[in-house]
Amino acid sequence: MKIREYHAPRWNEPIIHELSTPGERGFIPPRSEPEIKKRVGQGSKLVPESMKRKEKPDLPELSQAQVLRHYLRLSQMTLGMELDIDLGVGTCTMKYSPKINEELAGMIKDIHPMQPEETIQGLLELAYEFGDVFLREISGMDAFTFQPPGGSAGCYNNALIMRKYHAERGEAHRDEVITTIYSHPCDAATPATAGYKVITLYPDPETGLPDTEALKEAVGPKTAGCFITNPEDIGIFNKNIDEWTGIIHDAGGLCSYDQANANALLGITRAREAGFDMLFFNLHKTFSSPHGSSGPGSAAVGVTKELEEYLPVPVIIKKDGGYVLDYDRPKSIGKIRDFMGNLPVVVRSYAWCMSLGAKGLKTAAETSMLNNQYLVDKVRKIRGVTLTYPAKRVDQARWSLEQMKQETGVGIADVNRRVVDYGIQSYFMSHHPWLIPEPFTPEPAETYSKADIDYWCAVLEKISEEAYTDPELVKSAPHNSSIHKVDWDGFNDPDRWAMSWRAYQRKQR
């Protein structure tokens, strides 16, 4: 296969402050009419003396075309999903976000969230029906909210429901939650933020399979519940997941299912049959809303009937043939996000589901799974790349370059810089800790064609060849990127890190 010659745009673009020319303007705000000024005087006089801004903020001064050019150049030096074969970024489900859905989401841009309900009936209807008709059937859960504004926020939301549920039942002493090391870090971090002690289970070291005996030993009278990602981040589906939820329930706990990346499961298997009490889907992953350089996203949280009363307020309900926002829910956890969450994300996800329907959603799932099997088959033949555990992977697999590192000195970070030279997005390595050494985790969602997968694998194969024949070429990469190798030494050094231009200026002196 012919590998493309590629070079990223390299603008050597200065920081915007460096482009400033005193006096230039990019925008003129509207001014008050004379009648207004006549009545109230100059605006600056309306600020109490003690709170007047003494010096203008040191923002840059640029004309409009110059601002536009600067940010267009920065966008060009960004390899968005739409420009490359972005299947390397596993646990992220980098699928296509249909362009028409941007236009549809834009239809709500001028809505204020506190408008009278009768003026946002379309929005409430769409959100309600998306939960009620689509997500309930897809998951088997009974009720949904879209208030959590991201996947981790959805996980946190579920930790708060768990906390409230046990407190309401007089069981606040249940202060332990259980997760697995290959569950996403949010399954540990968000219950910890809610005050839980986190017990992390490790898999069988030989097979990588979740260890049911370890779970049995971990549960007890203090168990509040579990937070489990399935398939786990390494791509292995826990076949005993229903037994796991049974063990947690027998101990008196609740079960939260991390279905952020449920892409290969749509129409295949559901949270209800697995025995979960609540779940979250990342609408910006599985349900196609664009990732936005890391948000705005949305977690659709689904719960069973028993937990519905704990959902954050407001909950959209149907009443008298219309839709209303219900705040009168005494057992609600309250709010975790202002207003109703990120509803443009919900609009896009609804449109995506309506385009696909039952058969299309299942085809998306099957195809993403098949793509991964096909990718696995190709990647395992590449020199220096190994799959740590033997089990079949569902939507993604966590690979290791340990062998390559030992044989050539070229490791995962080197290869990750080198892929960029071929116009491929740097892949996702792994969350920490790295139980699998030199890890990477590609996830070929249904968006990618066979030719895309072939190309991606051909690039990896080429870099493997380079590693074994000319390791310095890989170690000194990138060569065709927008920039060269970054000096990482200062990132943990208070004297050298700089999180703003003004801090950088001060430290440079």
Binders of another protein among residues 19 to 48 (CB under 8 A) are 24-33, 35-37, 39-44, 46-48
Query: Is residue 115 near another protein by the rule CB under 8 A?
Result: yes
Query: Is residue 156 near another protein by the rule CB under 8 A?
Result: yes
Q: Closest Cα to residue 207, out of 376, 373, 390?
A: 390
Query: Is residue 487 near another protein by the rule CB under 8 A?
Result: yes
Question: Out of 85, 92, 141, 415, which residue is the one contacting another protein (CB under 8 A)?
Answer: 92
Whichever of 134 and 399 has its CB closer to another protein, that residue is 134
User: CB of residue 463 vs another protein: minimum separation in angstroms?
Assistant: 14
One-letter amino acid for residue 161 of the chain: I
Query: Is residue 396 near another protein by the rule CB under 8 A?
Result: no
DSSP 3-state assignment of 54? coil
One-letter amino acid for residue 358 of the chain: A
Query: Is residue 81 near another protein by the rule CB under 8 A?
Result: yes
Query: Is residue 411 near another protein by the rule CB under 8 A?
Result: no
User: CB of residue 499 vs another protein: minimum separation in angstroms?
Assistant: 5
Whichever of 16 and 407 has its CB closer to another protein, that residue is 16
DSSP string, 57-76: -------HHHHHHHHHHHHH
Query: Is residue 390 near another protein by the rule CB under 8 A?
Result: no
CA 293 from chain center: how many Å? 10
State the residue for tokens 């009974």. Answer: 142
**Triad 80, 86, 91: Cα angle to 5°:** 110
Query: Is residue 96 near another protein by the rule CB under 8 A?
Result: yes
Q: How far apart are CA 60 and CA 48, in angstroms?
A: 27
Query: Is residue 80 near another protein by the rule CB under 8 A?
Result: yes
Query: Is residue 381 near another protein by the rule CB under 8 A?
Result: no
Query: Is residue 89 near another protein by the rule CB under 8 A?
Result: yes
Query: Is residue 225 near another protein by the rule CB under 8 A?
Result: no
Question: Out of 1, 4, 83, 409, which residue is the one contacting another protein (CB under 8 A)?
Answer: 83
Q: How far apart are CA 474 and CA 188, in angstroms?
A: 35
| H or E, element range at 316 | strand 315-319
Question: Out of 131, 191, 253, 439, which residue is the one contacting another protein (CB under 8 A)?
Answer: 191
DSSP string, 419-463: HHTTT-PPPP--PSS-SSSSEE-----TTS-HHHHHHHHHHHHHH
Query: Is residue 168 near another protein by the rule CB under 8 A?
Result: no
What x/- string results for residues 419 through 438 when contact with another protein is judged by CB under 8 A? Answer: -x---xxx-x--xx------
Tokens of 201: 């289970």
Query: Is residue 51 near another protein by the rule CB under 8 A?
Result: yes
Query: Is residue 143 near another protein by the rule CB under 8 A?
Result: no
Axis crossing angle, helix 412-420 with helix 450-469, rounded to the nearest 10? 120
- Spatial CB neighbours of 289, under 8 Å, sequence gap ≥ 6: 97, 101, 283, 297, 298, 344, 345, 348, 349, 352
Q: Closest Cα to residue 87, out of 399, 392, 307?
A: 399
Question: Out of 4, 107, 168, 169, which residue is the one contacting another protein (CB under 8 A)?
Answer: 107
Positions 244 through 263 that interact with another protein (CB under 8 A): none
Whichever of 252 and 296 has its CB closer to another protein, that residue is 296
Query: Is residue 7 near another protein by the rule CB under 8 A?
Result: no
Question: Out of 3, 6, 74, 468, which residue is the one contacting another protein (CB under 8 A)?
Answer: 74
User: CB of residue 144 vs another protein: minimum separation in angstroms?
Assistant: 14
- Cβ(281)–Cβ(155) under 8 Å? no
Query: Is residue 394 near another protein by the rule CB under 8 A?
Result: yes
- Cβ(179)–Cβ(188) under 8 Å? yes
DSSP 3-state assignment of 508? helix
The partner residues of 282 in beta bridges, in order of sequence, read 299
DSSP 3-state assignment of 241? helix
Peptide bond into 231 cis (omega under 30): yes
User: CB of residue 433 vs another protein: minimum separation in angstroms?
Assistant: 8
Q: Closest Cα to residue 426, out of 94, 95, 1?
A: 94
Query: Is residue 442 near another protein by the rule CB under 8 A?
Result: no
- Cβ(444)–Cβ(371) under 8 Å? yes
Q: How far apart are CA 379 and CA 255, in angstroms?
A: 35
User: CB of residue 158 vs another protein: minimum separation in angstroms?
Assistant: 12
User: CB of residue 265 vs another protein: minimum separation in angstroms?
Assistant: 8
Question: Out of 381, 449, 469, 472, which residue is the one contacting another protein (CB under 8 A)?
Answer: 449
Query: Is residue 241 near another protein by the rule CB under 8 A?
Result: yes
Taken as a whole, the chain contains a residue count of 509
Question: Out of 3, 6, 13, 435, which residue is the one contacting another protein (CB under 8 A)?
Answer: 13
User: CB of residue 378 vs another protein: minimum separation in angstroms?
Assistant: 8
Query: Is residue 134 near another protein by the rule CB under 8 A?
Result: yes
Q: How far apart are CA 426 and CA 428, in angstroms?
A: 7
Kindly report the backbone phi and psi dihedral angles of residue 254, in degrees, each rounded to the nearest multiple of 5, phi listed first. Answer: -110, 155
Query: Is residue 447 near another protein by the rule CB under 8 A?
Result: yes
Could you give the C-alpha distances from 213 to 217, 219, 247, in angstroms and in order?
Answer: 6, 10, 10
Positions 319 through 348 that interact with another protein (CB under 8 A): 321-323, 333-345, 347
Applying CB under 8 A, the span of 168-176, 205-213, 244-252, 460-468 interacting with another protein comes to 168-176
Query: Is residue 202 near another protein by the rule CB under 8 A?
Result: no
Positions 457 through 476 that interact with another protein (CB under 8 A): none
User: CB of residue 384 vs another protein: minimum separation in angstroms?
Assistant: 21
CB-count burial class (<10 Å; 0-12, 13-18, 19+) for 20: middle
Whichever of 399 and 428 has its CB closer to another protein, that residue is 428
